[in-house]
Amino acid sequence: MVELQHGQEPRPLRDYRQRHSGRSWGDTAFEPVRPVVRRQLSAEQAGLCAYCESALSADAGHLDHIKSRKHYPTLVFVYTNLAQSCNGPGHCGHHKSDRVLPVEPRADCNLFFALTALDGRLDPASGLTPDETERAKETRDILGLNLPRLTWQRKQWADSTRALTNPADIVEFLASAPFRWSLRGLIP
């Protein structure tokens, strides 16, 4: 997952929230604000889905509520609760739906996961407590992070990473690669 660190809230989002208190996420007055928020999140996430780390263009994807609207209605228009995720129905934000993530895309979230380079799967990292292991598994499954397409793509990127022998080349390669947060565990 992207270790998301939100920057300054986009002004149009703040203005919308102040003028339209109590409105719903589907409000048509919010439509012009969506692309502004999506583009800023894309920049902060370096063009990656916050959950699976697939590459997304700045205008693609889904604005997802990290903490769901159903369970946290007061956070619907709070910038630090938003992330850009894949738009497909099979994984990430849409797959998560209104379920609560035990591990959110925040600082140090990747301490919970380890990439298995041989098959591209994400599994709980070694050394976790039983509770942490369960949280990692549940998060992975809620987001659909081990679907075949994703594991195949991660394996391809892991193979490319492991083919590099110079540590400086690996660091440079990972600076722009999808799945870079997951692949960092492959750095010697």
Break the chain into its structural domains and give their ranges.
11-96, 109-186
pLDDT at 116 exceeding the cut of 80: yes
pLDDT at 63 exceeding the cut of 90: yes
Report, as an integer, the average pLDDT of 151-173: 94
Please tell me the predicted confidence (pLDDT) of residue 156. Answer: 97
Percent of the chain with pLDDT over 90: 87
The angle formed by the CA atoms of residues 180, 38 and 148, to the nearest 5 degrees, is 45
pTM of the model: 0.94
* Distance from C-alpha of 174 to C-alpha of 46, rounded to nearest angstrom: 12
* Distance from C-alpha of 125 to C-alpha of 1, rounded to nearest angstrom: 13
